[in-house]
């Protein structure tokens, strides 16, 4: 039996996902469709699949599946896009939204103008388990490991253009310290709280941006004394502003969310 699924393609700073409202379009076996639809030539093309659903503890829920079908705990860029989706598609008229994720409830504040969401601020929670870690000979020097809802490894370099991310990323993703694999960020400190970053996401590979990766990089920079508590993180797809609040320890991420197009796709059940 065939069934038509409506979807929306969205991106946050170039980190693009396929969004499905599961209240209208239930989607069994989402890991299967994440793999098939993420393919650029035979599918829709994306970094993965995001399911927007109901929640008993928040306003909405999010499940996110990487391009390889693995389920992620959290995605900051996807969270911002969900805020834009539920507001502009009339699922809510609230500008402060609680979103249930596998790493806890996240709070979204929508910055709107003339009925459109221009940017979204996400309370990402507090960083956990910040520590320096050896890179086991995979890459010179040491990295800073931490969790911001999912695991990250941040490596500061003098010249980010020399990093062969496509080669070193897969090796570091499977670093022995991370049995569940890890997201990898290479970062170069610039000036005035500005950091240039590139990311290798576990399960997806090189992506244009990573919201939790930007948060991890900002925290690692402040933790190691390289920057203050507020940073601008520029990735291949755009720039996010990250604040690691000294009073409450919360990370707050502000950035854009963009709808690319709506579409329909047929599935076999």
**Residues recognised as catalytic:** 75, 210
Q: How far apart are the first and last CA of the chain?
A: 5
- Spatial distance between the Cα atoms of 21 and 85, rounded to a whole number of angstroms: 10
- Spatial distance between the Cα atoms of 57 and 34, rounded to a whole number of angstroms: 26
Residue 162: what are its φ and ψ, rounded to 5°?
Answer: -90, -5
- In angstroms, the Cα distances linking 225 to 129, 156, 214, 220 are 17, 12, 17, 8
- Spatial distance between the Cα atoms of 149 and 213, rounded to a whole number of angstroms: 10
Contacts 24+ apart (CB under 8 A), 126-133: 126/249, 126/250, 126/251, 127/215, 127/216, 127/219, 127/244, 127/249, 127/251, 130/219, 130/220, 130/223, 133/175, 133/177
Asked whether the beta carbons of 238 and 80 are under 8 A apart, the reply is: no
Asked whether the beta carbons of 117 and 84 are under 8 A apart, the reply is: yes
């Amino acid at each position: 039996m065939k069934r038509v699924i409506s979807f929306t393609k969205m991106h946050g700073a170039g980190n693009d996902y396929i969004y499905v409202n599961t209240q209208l379009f239930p989607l069994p076996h989402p890991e299967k469709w994440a793999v098939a639809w993420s393919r650029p030539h035979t599918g829709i093309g994306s970094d993965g699949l995001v399911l927007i659903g109901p929640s008993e503890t928040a306003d909405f829920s999010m499940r996110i599946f990487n391009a390889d079908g693995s389920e992620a705990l959290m995605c900051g860029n996807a969270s911002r896009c969900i805020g834009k989706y539920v507001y502009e598609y009339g699922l809510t008229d609230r500008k402060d939204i609680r979103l249930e994720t596998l790493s806890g409830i996240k709070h979204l504040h929508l910055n709107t103008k003339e009925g459109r969401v221009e940017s979204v601020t996400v309370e990402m929670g507090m960083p956990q388990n910040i520590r320096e870690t050896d890179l086991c000979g995979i890459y010179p020097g040491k990295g800073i490991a931490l969790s911001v809802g999912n695991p990250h490894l941040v490596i500061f370099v003098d010249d980010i253009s020399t990093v062969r991310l496509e080669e070193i990323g897969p090796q570091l993703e499977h670093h022995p310290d991370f049995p569940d694999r890890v997201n990898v960020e290479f970062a170069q400190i610039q000036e005035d709280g500005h950091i240039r970053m590139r990311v290798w996401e576990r399960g997806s590979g090189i992506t244009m941006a990573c919201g939790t990766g930007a948060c991890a990089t900002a925290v690692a920079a402040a933790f190691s004394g390289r920057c203050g508590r507020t940073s601008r993180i520029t990735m291949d797809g755009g720039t996010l502003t990250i604040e690691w609040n000294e009073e409450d320890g919360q990370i707050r991420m502000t950035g854009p969310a963009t709808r690319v197009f709506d579409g329909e796709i047929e599935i076999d059940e």
